[in-house]
Chains A and B, each alone.
Chain A
Amino acid sequence: MKPQIKFIIPKKTYIMKKITFILFALITGTTFAQNAATDSGTATVNAEIVSPISITDGTDLNFGRIIGNTSGGTVTVATDNERTASNDDLLAPSTDVQAASFTVKAAYGYNYKITIPSIELTGAGDVMPVEFTSSLGNTNVQGSGADQILNVGGKITVNSSQAEGDYTGTVEVTVAYE
């Protein structure tokens, strides 16, 4: 007769007629070996289930209206939606400016990182490079188990005499447990 041991497994219970367990428990370095005599015992199995990390898209990042003057420069939209420029002549008034927003949900107490690769906006004229900033930082961001709002600002480089027109690009934000 095969030796039998009994397990209590939280959340799921397996009831079967004939079960052979070969258990590698690396908790303390102890191995449960096959006993010579018939015996039974109990052991508690601990498993921690971490909820998957998730991110959902919200609003777009909008740099608004920019005047393509001869000097060019950079226009920055901060994560709090405030717009500034290296050269104020770049900023056309009466325009909608907005940082992008996302919703991240990560397990409580678990750290994750936020990756936002730089892109280029394309349109009628020369491409305009964009770098991004995260309102939650980029590394060692602590999950709360609840929804966390992630705002993404950006800095766009406007070329000298940038051609008139609409320019667009896609911002991809990746969150990953560290």
Chain B
Amino acid sequence: MNRIVFILFLLLSSSHAFSQASASAKVTSRATVIDPIQIDKTVDLDFGNVVSAYTPGSVILSPDGSRTAQGVQISTNFPGTVNPAEAVVTHGNNNYAITLPESFILYNSQNPDQQLSISNFVVLPDEGTISDVIKIGATLHLEANQASGFYTNSSGFNVTVSYN
């Protein structure tokens, strides 16, 4: 090149020329929505008929429905209605925790001063894909010379499930 004409604009004090004045980048934003956990009772807890004794005793009702008596007697001929509690937990294949009560009190329907206590709640889940059937057993404690009658507590005991 023989002739080159340079035209220089030097705008030193007024503004700056940026070769790249802006830039951008992208990432993904994500959220996973799961359905609320749900528990529906299907069967109440029923210890059936128990024969009281002169000494304290207990009846263990397993989640599978079998009964074991200690210190008291249970009749195989007249067992009465025996059911572990049963509920359906809908969890959508997410892990969850079950919270059972420590103890629970039953009152004699004729004489509320007569009470039975229940403790040692035990749960056995039958696991499905999006829901489980949970069966709950417990131990019924009888005092010596426990008065006969029908014992219940209409307020029911609480079983809480929560995602973990």
Contacts and interface: CB of A to CB of B under 8 A. Distances in A.
Contacts of B5: 20-22
Contacts, number: 183
A56 B25 CA distance: 6
B3 A26 contact: no
Interface residues of A, number: 70
Given A21-B8, A55-B24, A177-B22, A67 B29 contact: no
A48 interface: yes
Interface stretch (A33-41, A134-142, A167-175): A167-175
A45 B14 CA distance: 15
B16 to A, nearest CB: 6
Interface residues of B, number: 40
Contact of B2 (A18, A21, A176): A18
A66 B36 CA distance: 9
Contact of A52 (B18, B27, B32): B18
Contact of B20 (A53, A57, A59, A165): A53
Given A55-B24, A102-B27, A169-B30, 15 more contacts: A20-B3, A21-B5, A22-B8, A46-B10, A50-B16, A53-B20, A54-B23, A56-B25, A57-B25, A62-B31, A167-B32, A173-B25, A174-B23, A175-B22, A176-B22
